[in-house]
Structure 1
Amino acid sequence: MSRALKYADSAAPQDGTRAGSPDRSASSGVSVTLEGWKPGLNKVRLTQLLRDGGNDLAVASRMTGDLLDGKSVTVRLQQFDNVPAARSVLSEIGVETVRA
């Protein structure tokens, strides 16, 4: 089979379903302000949590850096339905204070 034919077959239109993708939450998330950090802060987990909340990598990385520099960071996290749930996870990661 020629290269052109091989790739022509694989270029068939897809069915448009998102099989295997997690269902999107109907929640609009929570807005919280992060202040301070505890020794042992997991920077990678924090950056990933910020990304999962709807921020791109550059923004999430900058927010993590700002927190480490002693600045407060206000962020919307789409994956949480309430502030106590967000506070619990962020505290476990090493954020010192989480305010609504």
Structure 2
Amino acid sequence: MAWDWIGFGYAALVASGGITGYIKAGSVPSLAAGLLFGSLAGLGAYQLSQDPKNVWLSLVASGTLTAVMGMRFLNSGKFIPAGLIAGASLLMVGRLGLKMMEKPNDE
């Protein structure tokens, strides 16, 4: 079984962004959202590690963050944190899309 280290790294980035938002600005919504979506992304990475075709939870989490943080980036123009999370989330959506198109291995 191969671990989805990229997925776990993405989950850590999202969770640490929420924690950083709380530490710097005292933002409880940032903390809650970061921990919620980081946990969902981590669970999705675990599921993907167990079954390479089980991309749905990761796809929902990264797709939602792409939309929400992308809009925040467009409205604020600030790369940190909205642009960074939107960009990383968009890359995850692309990666998961490619995983969905892979042909199954005949073992």
TM range (shorter): 0.3 to 0.5
> What TM-score, normalized to structure 2?
0.32
Of Structure 1 and Structure 2, the greater strand share is in 1
Larger RCO of the pair (alpha carbons < 8 Å, separation 6+): 1
> What TM-score, normalized to structure 1?
0.34
Q: Which is greater in Rg? A: 1
Of Structure 1 and Structure 2, the greater helix share is in 2
